[in-house]
Amino acid sequence: MLTLNQVEVVDTFAEAFPMAGARVVITADSPTWAETAAREFCGYASSVIGCDAEAAVERAVPPEETPDGRPGISVLAFAFNTKGLAKALVGRVGQNVLTCPTTACYDGLADEMRTARVPVGGALRYFGDGLQSSKKLSDRRYWRIPVMDGEFVCEDRFRICDGVGGGNLILCGTDARATLAAAEAAAAAARDVPDAVLPFPGGIVRSGSKVGSRYPQLRASTNDPYCPTVRALTDSALPVDCQCVYELVIDGLSFAAVQKAMRAGLHAAAACSGVLRITAGNYGGKLGRHHFHLRELL
């Protein structure tokens, strides 16, 4: 049996999937408005099981690092493929950034990470109704779209890279208070890792899912082996004294980023009281080609 700080760590692996990834840098006149736009952009973006994308804030970007010298927020977004991510970017930037006071929007990926480029500002420019204009600086084009507080600046095309989605940790604890505290600590530690994000609310999942359902219309359903209230009705995977389970799901721009975030989360959780077992979700290695073995994270 593997242990870390006297917490049982199951000798298993998290199974993750290839995804298309993008970094969106949102700037505004103030950090408050940049944060507001980023938060709205990330709304309804927890899981591609039911959403067009998975997205979360990566970090605050200081003015000296943004294209326009204003405070910014970096957001990472992921979808199953480039076409789906392109559509999600246009929809989310158009509905949640373009509409937000004083904002602008830029591609934040390094060119060496690029596997494709997709139109974002180039698609949204038509909102200018013929009054839009563009400017090219070096090899990057920006669109200026007139809006009621001035103009919305958006980069013409955004880079897409090969990302990884679905790295995960499952924390089994003695009670809800202790397990949530451990999940919060784990999420905070994982969130500090560059190039990785946790797309679920606060980085924590209470409604872990399994593939399939007894109801044919559902692709996924509650992960009943980890639900304490039905342990007598199902093939429970819970430790004897476990009364609460939380999961962390981690997406990243590379295998290394997800692995590093999982390692940070695992060690932070194992340092908390009330954690009985840490494990991970997989499908026997048959569905996702990225396998994160917990043994290698110790």
* Largest interatomic CA distance in the chain: 66
**Domain boundary residue among 122, 145, 161?**
161
pTM for this prediction: 0.96
| pLDDT confidence of residue 1 | 81
Are residue 146 and residue 183 in the same domain, yes or no? Answer: no
* Domain identity same for 155 and 29: yes
Q: How far is CA 210 from the centre of its chain?
A: 19
DSSP-H helix ranges across the chain: 31-41, 82-92, 121-124, 176-191, 255-270
Residue type at position 114: R
Residue ranges, the chain, pLDDT below 70: none
CATH of the domain at 206: 3.30.70.520
Domain that residue 183 falls in: 2-15+163-297
pLDDT at 86: 98
Question: Would you state the pLDDT for residue 243?
Answer: 98
The per-residue pLDDT for 287 is 83
Same domain, yes or no: 140 and 58: yes
**Do 287 and 195 fall within a single domain?**
yes
The token pair at 20 is: 């298309």
How does DSSP assign 159-225, residue by residue?
Answer: EEEEEEEEEEEEEEESSHHHHHHHHHHHHHHHHTSTTEE--SGGG-BSS-EEE--SSTT-SEEE-GG
Q: Are residues 215 and 154 in the same domain?
A: no
Quick one: 145 and 249 in the same domain?
A: no
Question: Looking at residue 94, what is its pLDDT?
Answer: 98
Q: Which of 111, 133, 161 is the last residue of a domain?
A: 161
Residue at which a domain ends, from 161, 188, 221? 161
| The pLDDT value given to residue 59 | 98
